């Protein structure tokens, strides 16, 4: 049952040897055999890296070749019934009705204060909606959605998908490798669209999407076939397994948000610089917290998400950001050393008047003020399929 998962306190938690309270994906034994270093991630025993390659090298490898990420800890949901579109649109900020068949959209669940309960991806299938939510938020999302569903009395049912695993296959060479395993013409699969196809004889649901800034795919398949699927891709020299460490470095370089860092229940889409997610609904509303969001759009906000680039010493999550007079102007929410840029990068929430690319501010590291440059994002040019 999803209800017994633990929520993450930190992004990574050290795993206690033999801790059987942690949940495992179907590839757990495979990760161990491949030399995966396992950590507690939101109550799941997940690989942060593998012995054959460090996090930095794995990040660069993904940008240049192709990597496999086990993301089966994320919750897959389906919504059925005549009112499924109407119901989901009552909870998320983006339009579902506007989606074409098999088109995917990034969106946000919001609360009555406009804060983000979770970010999600929604796909409009022929007879249902397919929704993926974060593993660490499933304990919150699923009861919340169930409660709203009961209140609505709409003709809609939610299914928590069982017996399927989810694999992300990312990088510029992913398409060529995957094409050797399927008769489906991948050149016809557009970015943020989904298709059903056989891969190495395995019935798969393949979405052209990902969390790295590179071209790639997220593939849902029956649990009994997941190791076969991974091994058929691993037979190619340009393909490596990658863990959560590289996944986090890649998403940070791409300027993508992570729940619990850039997003939480006190942060609105306007503050998070995600107004584009609202589309036309920023005028017509209809989602929780719209009045707050509408007011912020009209009057502005007191903080906003922006990028930062340093020179040498990395600045970490929670570091204060100050101006030339030492006055607090914000806080770093994600900070690390970019393996591809060879520089410290991060995202912060700053007062709007400081969110000007090229402006110099200071990150406080070990009581020292380190000059950092305010930057637009992404930090690394995205390689999505056009």
Q: 176 and 235: one domain? A: yes
Within 209-352, strands assigned E span: 216-222, 239-241, 304-309, 320-322, 328-338, 343-350
Q: 70 and 205: one domain? A: yes
Give per-residue pLDDT as tens, 252-269. Answer: 999 999 999 999 999 999
Residue reference for tokens 């030399």: 35
Is residue 143 domain-resident? no
CATH number of the domain residue 323 falls in:
2.40.30.110
Number of domains in the chain: 2
Is residue 357 domain-resident? yes
Is residue 239 domain-resident? yes
With bands split at pLDDT 50, 70 and 90, how would you rate the model's confidence at 19?
low
With bands split at pLDDT 50, 70 and 90, how would you rate the model's confidence at 243?
very high
pTM confidence score = 0.93
Residue 329's domain comprises 302-375
Alpha carbon distance 165, 223 (integer Å):
5
Lowest mean pLDDT among 14-18, 205-209, 236-240, 311-315: 14-18
* Tokens found for residue 70: 């086990």
* Start-to-end Cα distance in the chain: 39
CB 105 within 8 A of CB 122: yes
Q: Residue 21's pLDDT is what?
A: 84
Q: Residue 42's pLDDT is what?
A: 86
* Tokens found for residue 381: 């040019």
Q: What DSSP string runs through 133-194? A: E-GGGHHHHHHHHHHHHHHHT-S-EEEE--SEEEEEEESTTHHHHHHTT-SS-GGGS-TTBE
Residue reference for tokens 């920023």: 282
CB 91 within 8 A of CB 145: yes
**Helical spans, DSSP H, in 240-323:** 244-253, 281-284, 290-299
Q: 342 and 224: one domain? A: no
Q: 173 and 41: one domain? A: yes
With bands split at pLDDT 50, 70 and 90, how would you rate the model's confidence at 20?
low
CATH number of the domain residue 225 falls in:
3.30.1360.120
Q: Which residues 6+ apart lie within 8 Å of 45 measured at CB?
A: 15, 19, 22, 23, 24, 28, 38, 39
Q: 213 and 323: one domain? A: no
Is residue 226 domain-resident? yes
Is residue 58 domain-resident? yes
Is residue 117 domain-resident? no
DSSP annotation of 61 reads H
Is residue 82 domain-resident? no
Q: Which residues 6+ apart lie within 8 Å of 211 measured at CB?
A: 168, 170, 247, 250, 251, 254, 256
CB 149 within 8 A of CB 156: yes
* pLDDT exceeds 90 at position 11: no
Q: 311 and 236: one domain? A: no
With bands split at pLDDT 50, 70 and 90, how would you rate the model's confidence at 10?
very low
**Helical spans, DSSP H, in 195-348:** 226-234, 244-253, 281-284, 290-299
Q: What DSSP string runs through 292-304? A: HHHHHHHH--S-E
Q: 206 and 335: one domain? A: no
Q: 311 and 189: one domain? A: no
Across 298-312, b (16+ Cβ under 10 Å) vs e yields: eeebebbbbbbbbee
Alpha carbon distance 348, 118 (integer Å):
19
* Tokens found for residue 195: 């298709």
Q: Residue 344's pLDDT is what?
A: 98
Strands 239-241, 66-70: pairing is parallel
């Amino acid at each position: 049952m999803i209800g017994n998962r633990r929520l993450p306190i930190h992004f990574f938690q050290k795993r206690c040897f033999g801790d059987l309270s942690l949940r495992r994906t179907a590839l757990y034994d495979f990760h161990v055999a491949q030399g995966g270093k396992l950590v507690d991630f939101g109550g799941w025993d997940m690989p942060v890296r593998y012995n054959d390659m460090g996090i930095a090298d794995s990040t660069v490898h993904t940008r240049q070749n192709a990597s496999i990420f086990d993301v089966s800890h994320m919750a897959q949901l389906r919504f059925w019934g005549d009112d499924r579109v109407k119901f989901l649109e009552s909870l998320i900020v983006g339009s579902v009705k506007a989606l074409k068949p098999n088109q995917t959209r990034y969106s946000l669940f919001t609360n009555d204060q406009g804060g983000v309960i979770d970010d999600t991806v929604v796909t409009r299938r022929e007879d249902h909606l397919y929704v993926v939510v974060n593993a660490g938020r499933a304990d919150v999302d699923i009861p919340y959605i169930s409660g709203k569903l009961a209140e609505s009395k709409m003709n809609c049912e939610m299914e928590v998908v069982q017996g399927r695993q989810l694999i992300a296959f990312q990088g510029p060479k992913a398409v060529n490798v995957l094409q050797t395993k399927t008769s489906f013409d991948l050149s016809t699969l557009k970015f943020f669209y989904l298709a059903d196809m056989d891969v190495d004889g395995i019935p798969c649901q393949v979405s052209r999407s990902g969390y790295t800034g590179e071209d790639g795919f997220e593939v849902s398949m029956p649990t009994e076939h997941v190791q076969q699927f991974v091994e058929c891709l691993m037979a190619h020299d340009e393909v490596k397994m990658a863990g959560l460490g590289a996944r986090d470095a890649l998403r940070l370089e791409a300027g993508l948000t992570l729940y619990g860092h850039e997003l939480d229940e006190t942060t609105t889409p306007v503050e998070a610089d995600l107004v584009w997610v609202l589309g036309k609904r920023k005028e017509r509303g209809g989602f929780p917290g719209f009045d707050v969001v509408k007011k912020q759009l009209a009057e502005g906000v007191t903080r906003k998400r922006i990028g930062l680039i340093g020179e040498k010493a990395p600045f970490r999550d929670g570091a204060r950001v100050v101006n030339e007079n030492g006055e607090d102007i914000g806080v770093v929410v994600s900070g690390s050393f970019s393996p591809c840029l060879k520089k410290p990068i991060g995202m912060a929430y700053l007062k709007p008047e400081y969110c000007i690319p090229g402006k110099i501010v200071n990150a406080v590291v070990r009581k020292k003020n380190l000059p950092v440059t305010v930057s637009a994002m992404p930090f690394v040019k995205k390689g999505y399929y056009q």
